[in-house]
């Protein structure tokens, strides 16, 4: 059963939801979890998820393979350079994030690797992932060959898609809706996975005045309610979702 773990002296609490109990499928347990989620999203708006089934070693494997790729000299990464609007490797000084905020800053020093789904992927195997060209397996600097980024990211994104659908089912139950209320619309989601590499000064050299690995910027999210530069009156997550359900008909 979901439990509340208080994070402050206030009355709000962030619950820990054990998805293994949800997966067990017992009606009473699912009802209790849905009630816990409903109450928590009205009070704090956040959830902690455990029992999600994502192996601890998978993100670690992605980090290791990504480090091996990014630590290569630039000429070794050039075959994977992405074109505008595509996925792949983006080298240092490719973007100046601070300019989106109106700041005049030098280009950022960060390197990235981005991946996403093909427009009409089947979800089977690795063919659904873009870009078409991926770094091969690598031996250095690790004692055993690492799997390619493609294999690792394919495994990770498949698991994240399944986890997202599971959470959407839980949210539907918390709202008293059929379990497929949201998931019947998420068979082909649009997403982007980005790996960021923040090189040390020893690798980049001294920065220019006002230059950062990533310039100043604002993160704007869309759920459960817009945040960042958009200001709204206080509202509970449940009230917000219900107001949107009243406005939008999902087909």
- Give the ranges where 82-191 is alpha helix by DSSP (H): 149-174, 180-183
**Residue 116 CB neighbour total at 10 angstroms:** 18
Which of 160, 90, 163, 155 has the alpha carbon at shortest distance from 128? 155
Residue 221 binned pLDDT confidence (cut-offs 50, 70, 90): low
Global confidence as pTM: 0.74
Which of 197, 196, 115 has the alpha carbon at shortest distance from 158? 115
Contact 151, 65 (CB under 8 A): no
Which of 29, 30, 113 has the alpha carbon at shortest distance from 66? 113
Residue 89 clears pLDDT 90, i.e. is over it = yes
Residue 250, pLDDT score: 46
Coil, helix or strand for 86?
coil
The length of the chain in residues reads 251
């Amino acid at each position: 059963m979901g439990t509340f773990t208080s994070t402050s002296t206030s009355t709000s609490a962030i619950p820990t939801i054990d998805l293994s109990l949800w997966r067990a499928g017992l009606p009473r347990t699912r009802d209790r979890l849905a009630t816990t989620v409903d109450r928590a999203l009205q009070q704090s708006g956040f959830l902690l998820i455990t029992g999600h089934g994502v192996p601890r070693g998978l993100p670690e494997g992605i980090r290791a393979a990504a480090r091996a790729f990014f630590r290569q000299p630039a000429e070794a990464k050039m075959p994977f350079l992405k074109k505008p609007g595509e996925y792949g490797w983006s080298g240092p000084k490719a973007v100046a994030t601070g300019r989106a905020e109106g700041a005049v800053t030098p280009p950022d020093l960060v390197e990235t690797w981005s991946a996403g789904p093909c427009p009409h992927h089947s979800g089977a195997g690795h063919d659904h992932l873009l870009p078409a060209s991926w770094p091969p397996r690598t031996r250095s600097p690790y004692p055993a060959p690492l799997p390619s980024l493609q294999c690792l990211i394919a495994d990770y994104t498949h698991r994240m898609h399944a986890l997202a659908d599971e959470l959407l089912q839980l949210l539907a139950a918390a709202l008293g809706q059929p379990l497929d209320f949201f998931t019947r619309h998420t068979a082909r989601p649009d997403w982007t996975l980005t790996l960021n590499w923040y090189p040390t000064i020893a690798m980049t050299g001294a920065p220019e005045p006002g230059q950062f690995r990533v310039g100043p910027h604002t993160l704007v999210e869309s759920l459960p309610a817009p945040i960042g530069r958009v200001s709204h009156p206080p509202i509970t997550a449940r009230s917000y979702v219900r107001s949107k359900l009243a406005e939008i008909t999902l087909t």
